[in-house]
Chains A and B, each alone.
Chain A
C-alpha cells in the first residue's frame, strides 16, 4: 500500500511538469502581451509612451529573456510557492489571490456537501421505487437541473432573492462586510449569500449524481445475492444497505478526482454572473488582459487540484474496495 501511494505521488511530478509546459505555451500563444495592452491603454489616453520605457518594463519582468528561460524561472518559482507577479494589480500573485482562495474553497466545499446530502437519499429512493411516480417526478426535477444553464438560474435566483429576501445583488456578503473582520453578522451575511451559488453550481452535479447512483444501485439490486438475502428473510433496509449500497458507492469516491476541479472551474461562469469574491472572475480578467503569471499560476492551481483529487480518490478506492488489486498486471 505504502509503495503504491509513493509511486502515485512520484507520478504526479512529471504530470504536473507536462501540464506546466502546456499552460505556459497556451498563455504565450495569443499575439501581443500585457505590455502591448498596457501601452495601447496609455496611448489611448494621450500618454507619451516611450518605447524605451516599455523595454525597461520588459527587462524588469524578465520579458527580454528567451521563453524557455522564462518558463524555467516561473516553474522554479512555483515550486517554491512563489506564484509570480501580476502586472495588472502590480502585486505578487499570492497577495492578489489572498482570501479569494478561501472563499473559493468554501463555496466548493459547501456545494459538495449539499450535493451529497440531496443526491444520496433521492438516488436510493429512485432506485428502490423504480418507475414509480416519485421516481419519475424526481428524475424530471433532476433533468431540469442539468438542462437549465447555470448563468440563467443564477440570474433568476439572484433577482428573486433581491426582491423577496432583500439580499444585495451579487457578491458573497453584503457590501458593508467586505473589509470588516470576521464576525457573527458577517458570517450570517455570508450564509445569506452563499446559498445561491451553492444551489446554482450544485443543481447540475446533484442531478448527475442521482442518475448514476440510481443506475448503479439498480444493477446491484437485480443481482442474485440480493434476491437470496431477501428470500432468506433479511429486513429490506438491511438488504439494501449491507452490500448493494456499498457496491454502488464506488463512483462517489472515484468522482472526487473530477469533483474538485469542476467545482472550482465550473464555478467560474457562475462566479462572474454572481460577482463572487472567488478566484473565477480573477482568472477570466487575467486571461483577458494577458496578465500571464496570474493566469498561469491559476491554471496550474486548477491542474494541481485535479491531480490531487485523482490521487485521493484512487487511494480511497484502494482502501475501501477489496476488489481492487494494487499489483495490477503482475499476477496476470
Chain B
C-alpha cells in the first residue's frame, strides 16, 4: 500500500523548489546541546544528561525543508483561551502523534520510529528504543498492552466497547506484542480509519502510561475498587485534556498547574523525542502558558500584546484592529486560510416533519433553484472584502480532489434560470403578490434556523433573503441556541438551517468521505438518514433518495478499498453527486483567519491553513519549533 498521503500539487511545487534551495537533507547531529533551563538540574544529578533522555534515534525535524530556521532555546509562549477545556489545544498544537501529518500533509512516523502496513489490514508499529515518558519511565510495548487489555477491553472503563475506528465489520483487531518495542494490530479486512485516527487532532490514544496509572486501576490496586473508580480513572488517564499534573505525557510541554485555574502553565518535557539538526532538543520555548478569560476580550488582549501565538477566538472581523496593533510593534499578524467547504452553507432538511416542504426539497430542481438564487459575488464583496471564493459547498481548491466544476455547479447567480426551474416543481403556482404557493395552499415562507453565534451569519442570510424573495420565496432567519438548534434539526421541526460547510474541505483521497454521505445526525440536510447509518439501523430512517443511497454505497466501497487510486475515483464519484444534487447550498469558501504572534516569534508560517483536521490548527506547523529571537 502506498503510505504517502497524496501531496497538494502546489505544495509539491514549493517542496521541489525548496529541495533546490536546500539540496542536502539535514544530517542527524553527532552531539546534543542541553537546554539552559535544565542544565542546573542535570548538574545536580536530578535529571540524566540529554543523551540519555533522548530515544536512541530521536525524531529529526528538518527545519530547512520547510524553509524555516534553526532556533535557540528559551522563552515562554503565552496564549489566551476562552474556557478551561481549551487547554487541550496544547496537545493539539504540540501534535506529538504515533504517526502524524507534516506541513505538506504527508503522513509520517513521529513518536514511532517507523510503521509497516500490509494489505491495509495489518499494522506493525515500531517504537523508538530509549524513548521515555515525561517522568523518565521507558515508553514501551507494555504501554500499548496496558491500553488494549486494561482500558479498551475493560468493561467498566470502556462501557461502550473498543473505539469505533478499531472495529472492522464490528470485529476488534488481533493485538500482539512482538517484542519490547514492536506491536502489531491485525484485522480480517482493511481498516482505512486506523492511521488517520491515531494521527488525528484529537487522536485515538492506543497507549497509556501503565506505570503511573496502575496505582489507580482496580485490577492492580484492589483498594481502589469502589464503584466510582472508573470515572476518576478515566478523568486522570485523559491525555489530550490532562486533569492532573502528575500524569506523564509524550507531548512537548507538560502541565504544571492542577485545575481549576485561570492560568495554566506548561513546561518543557525533558524527554521529548524531537531534535533539530544542531542537536538541540525541542521544544525551543521552555514554557507555554494558557490564560483563561472571557473570549470576547481575547482580540483586545491580543492587540495589546498579551498573546504570543493566537488564532483561536480571533476572527476576520478583528483583522483591522490587529493590523493597527501591528503598527505599535506588539504583535505581527498573518492571514491564514480556512478550509471549510463553505463559510456558511444552507441545509434544506430532507427529513423535515413539514410534508409539503419535504416533498419540495426532495425535488432536486428546488435545491438547484435555491442555490442559483444566491448572489455569491455580492456576499463575497460585502462581507468578506472580496477575499473569499464563490463556491458550492465542496472541497477547497487546495485539495487534490478539487475540480472547478464542483465549485461552479449551480453557484452562479441566475434568477431567470432559478424561476424557470421552480416553475417545473410543485412550487410553480404563485399568489397574487408573486409569492409562490405550496401544494397545500400555504405561502412559500421558510423559517431558516441558525445558531446566530456571529454577525457574519446574519449578514450573509439577510443578503440571501433579498435575492430569494425575487424567486417568490420568503425566508426569515431565526436564531436559536446551539443545543436546541441541533435537536430541532434532528427531530425535523426545522425546515431549513444554516451552518458552516464541510469540515474537511482539504480532503485527500485517503481521508474518509464520511461527511459526504448520510452518516451522522449532525448532518443537517439528512439527520435521520445519518442517524440510521451511525446506529446501524437502530434509530433514524433508511435513506430513500437513490442518490443518498448511492453515497452510502460508495462510502462502503471506500472503506473496503486498498489503493489510493481506487479511493480517488470513489471520492470523485461522490463529489460529482454532490455537485449535481446540491444537498447543501454553499456560499463562499477560502475565507481568512488572522493569526497573531509575537513580533520576534520565528518560524510561524506566513501562509497556512487553519483547520481542526487535518492540520490541528498550528499542529502540523510544529509550534515546538517556534522560537524567540532577541
Interface residues of A (CB under 8 A from B): 31-32, 36-37, 40, 43-50, 52-53, 56-57, 60, 88-91, 95-96, 98, 158-159, 162, 168-171, 175, 178-179, 272-275, 277, 281, 285, 290
Contact = CB atoms under 8 A, between A and B. Distances in A.
A53 B263 CA distance: 32
Interface in B254-271: 257, 259-263, 265
Given A169-B301, A170-B294, A53 B84 contact: no
A43 B301 contact: no
Contacts of B262: 171, 178, 277
Contacts of B520: 43
B122 interface: no
A37 B483 contact: yes
Interface string B74-92: 0000100001110000000
Interface in B216-268: 228, 231, 235, 243, 257, 259-263, 265
B259 A89 contact: yes
Contacts of A290: 483
B1 interface: no
A170 to B, nearest CB: 5
Contact of B265 (A50, A179, A275): A179
Contacts of B257: 179
B297 A175 contact: no
Contacts of B487: 31-32, 36
A48 B262 CA distance: 31
Contact of B483 (A32, A56, A170): A32
Contact of A175 (B235, B259, B291): B291
A40 B483 contact: yes
B159 A162 contact: no
Contact of B263 (A36, A43, A178): A178
A32 B260 contact: no
B73 to A, nearest CB: 21
Contact of A162 (B228, B296, B304, B514): B304
Interface string B492-533: 000000000000000000000010000011100000000000
8 contacts: A32-B483, A52-B159, A52-B160, A57-B231, A90-B235, A175-B289, A179-B263, A281-B294
Given A40-B486, A52-B160, A170 B297 contact: yes
Size range of the chain B interface in the assembly? 35 or more
Nearest to B539: A51
B306 interface: yes
A36 B265 contact: no
B161 interface: yes
B383 interface: no
Given A89-B84, A175-B291, A178-B263, A50 B304 contact: no
A169 B291 CA distance: 12
Contacts of B228: 60
Given A36-B483, A43-B522, A179-B257, A273 B160 contact: no
Interface of B: 78, 83-85, 159-161, 163-165, 200, 202, 228, 231, 235, 243, 257, 259-263, 265, 289, 291, 293-294, 296-297, 300-301, 304, 306, 483-484, 486-487, 514, 520-522
B168 to A, nearest CB: 14
A50 B487 CA distance: 18
Contact of B163 (A43, A48, A95): A48
Contacts of A274: 294, 297
B259 A91 contact: yes
B438 to A, nearest CB: 28
Contacts of A50: 159-161
Given A57-B231, A175-B291, 12 more contacts: A31-B483, A48-B164, A49-B160, A53-B159, A53-B160, A88-B85, A91-B260, A169-B300, A170-B294, A171-B291, A281-B294, A285-B83
B231 A60 contact: yes
B194 to A, nearest CB: 14
Contacts of B486: 40
A91 B84 CA distance: 13
A169 B263 contact: no
A88 B292 CA distance: 15
Nearest to B484: A31
Given A37-B483, A50-B159, A175 B263 contact: yes
B293 A171 contact: yes
Contacts of A162: 304
